[in-house]
Amino acid sequence: MAYYNREKEITNILKTHERNANRLLQKAQSSRLLEAFNTIWVSIENKELPVPISSNVMTFNADDIKSEIDEWIKNLKECQENAQRKFESMEDPSPDDLSKRNNITSDVVVLTSQYENLKNSIDQVEQDFNNSVRTHRAPMREALTDISILYNSVNHVKGDFSDYKNVSVYVHGIEDSGNGFYKSVKKAAQKGDLIVRISKNEKDEYVYEYYYIDKYGKRYTKGTYEEIKDLEYFNTNGRLHIVYDTNEPNEHRQATSDDLAEKLNEMGLMNEETKVDMFGHSYGGRRSLQFAMDYPDHVRSITTIGTPYDTNILGSQANKHRWLADKAAGRDTTNTSDYLDFNEENRNNDDGKDYSNAYTDMDNEAMNEDINHLKSANSEIYQKLQKMDITAAAGYRTEETVSFSPYYTASGKHKISSDDIVSVESQYGDILGDLIDEKPEFEVEGSGITDPGHIYEVEDSEFVDLIQEVNKKEAE
């Protein structure tokens, strides 16, 4: 579109738009945004905008800028309407009048299309910024939590639960909540123990429920810790059990570690005296191990069941074929937190938004990869992991099978090598080498992929017994 062929009405409007564009870009100070504008401006005016960019931000107010562009489109359309009304009011319009009306109409159509393209480009720049910011947000959040923990330690700041020395934290797997663990922990808890159930309400806010067993075995459910402390026989000599719901069911293990550290610090449990015994089911085991890698001085033991320490076939297929997993299996594979892994292979994309969650993680990273990186980068932390008691329990099923031969027919129950979701080898954490201390195995219910034993593992009576054994063994 040649600048000198335009009607003066359009030329004057574009001059105003150029001044406004320069003002917006000067304020935003984003080279990416300037690049998006210049791509359009070269096609409109055959020149770039003369805006000096002295810094390069990673955010800007995209809605305000797009609102401004909508005003530009409105200016153009009003110009077109005015030209049309003027032409229609003429009793005997000349060929030049007709040409002017047509030129304005043509310019408005083309310029409106260019401005719409510019708005789309701004959306893409904003999404790229959001992806980039999320990549760096997790380390910043972890650093802030570390500073808060250090501050509390130096200044002897105590939280409500600081008096507890023995703490168990229970972390669920994907597409799940802590309800299964809550049932099991109620069975495993002893007299004098307090259970704190941390879950999300309909407003997506964390809420707390308190369940106390006094020295006579009487059980109380209360809505606040103050109500628990008012009980006649309450004391903090027992174990504190924390049944924790992740912020998002399918969030990446690093997001869980960051959030859990923040929660435990708020409760006064990230101190030098308190030791945490972690329990994880399924992907919750990965989350627990991540927390231990991030905060090894606060973790005493890790006990998992059904955990895919290796990459997982079903998780990988769900990540690669999301539409099938979501529709056919009722999954929610794009559900995630505001976390984005630095490892680009550990990502997927949903309408321009990059994300990392449990599915991308199980598709791309076996836990030994992070352990080996940790071993190389910080052998001291690896040695602390070696000193932890780490138990990797596996679930298995048995099926009624029949064997035929020329000489006999045999039937009976035979052991299936996995519980249909995670192989026993992966549940055992064989790839983690000498980090795993014990590998118990429990028979679980279930009947194949449609009703996998995996979902029954956390409530299995033998696993409840294991929770009791570990808590008794690890107690100071």
pLDDT digits (tens, 9 = 90+) for 261-292: 999 999 999 998 899 999 999 999 999 999 99
Instruction: Report whether 228 contacts 313 (CB < 8 A).
Output: no
Low-confidence ranges of the chain (pLDDT < 70): 1-4, 58, 401-412
C-alpha closest to that of 161 among 71, 69, 244, 271: 271
Contact (Cβ atoms closer than 8 angstroms) between residue 444 and residue 460: yes
Residue in the structure block whose two tokens are 């401004």 = 68
pLDDT score at 405: 59
Q: Residue 326 phi/psi, 5° resolution?
A: -70, -45
CB 280 within 8 A of CB 286: yes
29: left (phi over 0), alpha (psi -120 to 50) or beta: left
Nearest to 121 by CA among 33, 190, 43, 217: 33
Give residue 176's pLDDT. 93
Alpha-carbon distance of 141 to 209, in angstroms, equals: 27
3-state DSSP assignment of residue 271: coil
The residues near 264 (Cβ < 8 Å, ≥ 6 apart) are 169, 242, 270, 276, 298
Q: Give the pLDDT score at 411.
A: 57
Summarize pLDDT for 417-466 with one digit per residue, the tens.
Answer: 788 889 999 999 999 999 999 999 999 988 777 788 899 999 999 999 99
Q: Which residues of 96-111 are buried (b: 16+ CB within 10 A; e: fewer)?
A: eeeebbebbeebbeeb
Where in the chain are the domains? 3-141, 163-310+366-474
CATH architecture of 163-310+366-474: 3-Layer(aba) Sandwich (3.40)
Residue 2: per-residue pLDDT = 44
Please report how the helices 8-28 and 62-89 are oriented relative to each other, as an axis angle in degrees rounded to 10. Answer: 170
Output the pTM of the full model: 0.81
As a whole number of angstroms, the distance between CA 359 and CA 450 comes to 19
* Cα–Cα distance, 307 to 302 (Å, whole number): 12
> Which residues neighbour 15 within 8 Å (Cβ) at sequence distance 6 or greater?
none
The predicted structure's pLDDT at residue 58: 67
What is the model's pLDDT at position 3?
Answer: 47
